[in-house]
Structure formats: structure tokens, C-alpha cells
Amino acid sequence: MKPIVLASTSPYRRMLLERVLSDFMTAAPQVDETPLANETAQALVERLAIAKAQALSEQFPKHVLIGSDQVAVVGDKILGKPGSVANAISQLQAANGQTVMFYTGLAVYDSETQALQSCVEPFAVQFRQLSDVEIKGYVELEQPLSCAGSFKSEGLGISLFEKMQGDDPNSLIGLPLIKLLAMLRKWHINPLVIRK
């Protein structure tokens, strides 16, 4: 089996991948994440996921590289990682009472054969009506400054929602494991098959 590299320094993605794979490396891809003019959220995350996976192909020439990218969309506005408390509060105020769509791009790239698989996994989150006190309290408690949409659904962020809808709740955290495992199985990489 070819060695696997997660093209990410995200602790959330690493934690998710550790649930299903015991042996992989992580590395930071150098990718410009600036959206292109008139680029849709879906096109953006798929392009960036592919770019992240392929960015490491020279460093890892005989590997399977996994890239992922995520954005949140409220109405027609793309929300990235807030980076500051003020931005996180602003993002959550914009999401208040709204349905927020999350799009997670996923790419699996074989750097030796240059074979590529990619997809975009959607996930909808319906925010409940929140008071400003709740929003500020949440941001202070969890500091979700590196999370698209300004919340951590695996933690206290779940208290912000009325409901969630999608095929894979892991995609909301940043890595759609169901799709990833299906892609890996196409290349005969299966964590359930024990190699001796």
C-alpha cells in the first residue's frame, strides 16, 4: 500500500483521519486560497482541495495525497475562517436563524500515477434564533477562530443549531470520511482489510 499524506495542518482533519487510518503523515501545502472572480463556493473548495493535494506531489512522489477545503455560505456570501473574535461574532450574527450551507471539497491524488478523484460534500445547518449574549458567550468559550462559519459542531457549537442535514456529519468538521473511504477503496486501500 502506498503511504498516505494528509495535505493539511488542521488538527480537526488529522483527528478525523485518525479515526479510520492508523498510518499516515501530514504536511502543509503551500496554496493561494484566494477565490477566483465569480467562482462559486462549490468550485472554490473543489479547486483548493485538488490544489492542496497536488501541491505536495514533488515532496511525496509515490504517495496518496488527501486534500480538503471548506467554506460556509449564508445566502450568497462565502464565510471562511474568522481569524478574530470580532469576525466570529459577525459571522454568527449573520447565521442567526438562517440555514448555512457548508461545502467541503475533497481530493485524493496518486502522485505516482497522477490519478485524481475529487468531490464536494454539502451539509446544511439550521441555526436557531440566538441572542447576542449567547453568540458572544459561545465565541468566548470555544474560540472557534480557525473554523469556517465560526463554530465547532463537535463541541459546544451543537447548542447553536435547530437541525443539521447531510450525508456525513464528519464533513461539517472538515473531512467527509464516507466519501474519502469510498475513494480509497477504488484504489484498493481499505482499513478493514488486514495485510499480513
Which residues are part of the catalytic machinery? Answer: 69
Set of cell numbers at residue 136: 458572544
Please report, as a single letter, which amino acid is at residue 165. Answer: Q
What phi and psi values does residue 76 have, to the nearest 5 degrees?
A: -120, 15
Nearest to 160 by CA among 138, 133, 142: 138
Cα distances (Å, whole numbers) of residue 162 to 6, 98, 124, 196:
32, 10, 11, 47
Neighbours of 94 (CB within 10 A): 17
